[in-house]
Chain A
Amino acid sequence: MNNKKRLRELTREVIGSLAQTFEIEEGMLSGEMTVEMVGRRSCRLTNHRGIIKYTPEEVRIKTESGVFRVCGEMLKIKGLMAEEIIIEGIIENAAYEEV
C-alpha cells in the first residue's frame, strides 16, 4: 500500500517536471481537472468525470480529486463534451466540496 502511494507520488512528480519542461498544463498530462474562469460569467472545466447535480442554481461535477461545485444564478451548460464542460451564468462560488 505504501509502495503504491509512493509510486503515485513519484508519477505526479515526473508529470509535474515534464509539464514544466514542455510548458504545458499539468492537468493535460495527469488527467486532473483544470478550471478556467472568465470573470463570474463563464467556467470551463476539463477532465471531468460526469455531472452529479444540475440545477440553475447549482452544478456539481465529479472529478478525479473530488466533487467540484459551482453555485450561482441562471447557470446553464453551454457545452458538454467528452472531457470538457462549459458552464455559463452568474457564478457566485466555485470550489471543491469538503470530503
Chain B
Amino acid sequence: MVFDILKSLKTYYVLRVDTAFPEKILNLIQKGGFVVWEVGITGEGMSLKCLSSDMPAIEGLLNSLGAVWEITRIRGAETLIKNLKRYKGIIFAAFACFVITLIFSGFVWSLEVYGARGISEQQVINCLYDSGVREGCLKRNLDREEIAVSLMTEFPSLSEAQVTFEGTRLCITLFERDSPAVIYDTSVAVDLVAVKDAVVDFIDVYNGRGAVEAGQSVAKGDILISGDLSYGSGEEAFEKKVHSMGKVLSYETAEFEGITVDAYLPGEGAKYKSIKTYYLFGRVFTVSDAEIPENPVKVMSYAQPVRVLMFSIPVLYDEIRCYNVDECIPKSEHEIASEIFSATQELLGDKCTITDITYSLKSDGGRRLLARVRVDYSESIAEQRPIGENDK
C-alpha cells in the first residue's frame, strides 16, 4: 500500500519491450537492484513499469541487449502536475475560497447576547457599538476582558459578563445581580413568588393554593401561589407539594416621552440617495451619494452585510436612505399608532401587556414626529421558586 502511494507520488514510466526472452531482461533488472512492477506478457514482448530514477540504467541495459523498446506512458507526480495545470482555474478558485474563508474567520460576523433580562439586548449591543465592538471587527483586536469590564461598568445591575468567541460569533453571556428567573420542570414542586414590591390586582390560580388576594400589597419574595398543599399534623398529616401555576398581575401606568416616528413613508418606486457607513477593521468609512435632497425623509437600516455577487461577507454597514419628500406619502394614523405601540412594548419588556395606550404627537421640526405616550399595562409579577428555598 505504502509502496503504491510512493510510486504514485514519484514519476514512473510504462515501457513496452519487444523481446523473445523476457525472463533474461527481468533477471538482469532484478540483479541490477531495480524495481519493476505490473510485468505483463504482450503479443511480442512484455510491458512493465519502472521508476523514473531507475530509467537511465534500465535504458542502458535494454540498449546493450539490443531490445526494441519504447516508453508508452509517463505517470505519477509529473503527469499529475500536468493534469492539475489543466484544471488550474478550479484549483485556484478552491484555493481562493479556502483563503477567503480563512481570512473571514478572523472577523466577528455577529454579536449574540444571552441572559439579558433587566437589560435589553439592544442596549447591550449599543454599548458594544459605542466601545467600537461591532460586526466586521478583527477578532484579535478585541480584548474580551476589556469588553466584559466595559459592560459591567456600563450596566450596574450586572454581576458578571462573559465574552467568548464561538467561531465568528461574539457571544456575550450576562449574569444580572437579580439572577434571571429559572423555569423549573413541572416535576419540581415550586411556589410562585413576587419578583418586586407591588400590589396584586389580578390573581388566577391554575394549580396550587392562592396565598394572596387581589388588592393586597406584596413585597419582593412573598409567596403568591403556594405549591405546598399539606395540612394536618401528627398521624392525620397529609403532605402534598405541587408545581404551582397561575397568573398574578399588577396593573401599572407609565408615561414615556420622546418616542420618535417617521411621519412619511417612501412612495412606490421613490428614488433615494443613500449614505452608507461601513465598519471595517475597527474603522468607520462613510460613503455618500451626491446631491442628497434637502431636509429628506430618512429611512435607516442597520448592520446590513455587504454582498459580493450572491455571498454576504462579514463587513457590515448602516444605510440611511434619503428620499425627497415630494416622492413620499404621509403615514396613516393606523401606521403611526402601530409604530408607537411597538416602540412602547419594547420599552416595557416582554413581561408586560399593554391594556390601554394614549398618545399625543408633535413635529420635531423636520419629517419626524415626537410622541408622548401614556400607557396602562399589566405586569406579571410572579416567578417560580422551589418550595422551601428562601421562604419568607
Contacts and interface: CB of A to CB of B under 8 A. Distances in A.
Interface of A: 50-56, 76-82
B389 interface: no
B35 A81 contact: yes
Q: Lowest 6 A-B CB distances belong to which pairs?
A: A77-B39, A50-B27, A79-B37, A51-B23, A80-B36, A54-B23
B29 A80 contact: yes
Contacts of A56: 40-41
B132 interface: no
Given A81-B30, A82-B30, A82-B33, A52 B23 contact: yes
A91 to B, nearest CB: 16
B265 interface: no
B22 A54 contact: yes
Interface residues of B, number: 17
Given A76-B38, A76-B39, A80-B37, A50 B22 contact: no
Contacts of A52: 23
Nearest to B36: A80
A55 B19 CA distance: 12
Contacts of B27: 50-51
A54 B26 contact: yes
A36 B62 CA distance: 31
A54 B35 CA distance: 17
A78 B48 CA distance: 9
A80 B39 contact: yes
Contacts, number: 47
A82 B29 CA distance: 9
A53 B27 CA distance: 10
B40 A51 contact: no
B38 A78 contact: yes
11 contacts: A50-B27, A52-B23, A54-B23, A55-B41, A56-B41, A76-B38, A76-B39, A76-B41, A77-B39, A78-B38, A82-B33
A78 B37 contact: yes
A26 to B, nearest CB: 23
A79 B49 CA distance: 9
A89 to B, nearest CB: 10
Contacts of B3: 79
B55 to A, nearest CB: 16
A60 B26 CA distance: 13
B37 A53 contact: no
B23 A53 contact: yes
A78 B26 CA distance: 12
A77 B46 CA distance: 11
Contact of A79 (B22, B23, B35, B41): B35
Contacts of B39: 54, 76-78, 80
Interface in B24-69: 26-27, 29-31, 33, 35-41, 46
B75 to A, nearest CB: 16
Nearest to A61: B23
Contacts of B23: 50-54
A77 B36 CA distance: 9
A48 to B, nearest CB: 9
Contact of B26 (A55, A76, A80): A80
A79 to B, nearest CB: 4
Given A76-B39, A80-B37, A82-B33, 19 more contacts: A50-B31, A51-B23, A53-B23, A54-B23, A54-B46, A56-B40, A76-B38, A76-B41, A77-B26, A77-B36, A77-B38, A78-B39, A79-B3, A80-B26, A80-B29, A80-B35, A80-B36, A80-B39, A82-B30
Nearest to B29: A80
Nearest to A77: B39
Nearest to A53: B23
A54 B23 CA distance: 6
B20 to A, nearest CB: 12
B337 to A, nearest CB: 85
Nearest to A87: B39
